[in-house]
Amino acid sequence: MKAITTFWRWWYRHHPSPSKYTRPEALAIARKHGLEYEIIKAMEHGCTPDEALQEWDIYPYDSVTQESPKTI
Mean pLDDT for the stretch of residues 7-20: 68
CA 49 to chain CA centroid, Å, is 3
Q: What is the pLDDT of residue 2?
A: 59
pLDDT (average), residues 7-14: 68
Quote the DSSP letter at residue 67.
B
Instruction: Say what the pTM is.
Output: 0.60
Q: Are 49 and 22 in contact (CB under 8 A)?
A: yes
pLDDT in tens, 15-50: 656 778 889 998 999 998 899 999 999 989 988 888
pLDDT value of residue 41:
92
* Residue 24 DSSP code: H
Domain residues of the chain, as ranges?
Answer: 21-72
pLDDT tens per residue across span 53-70: 888 888 776 654 555 555
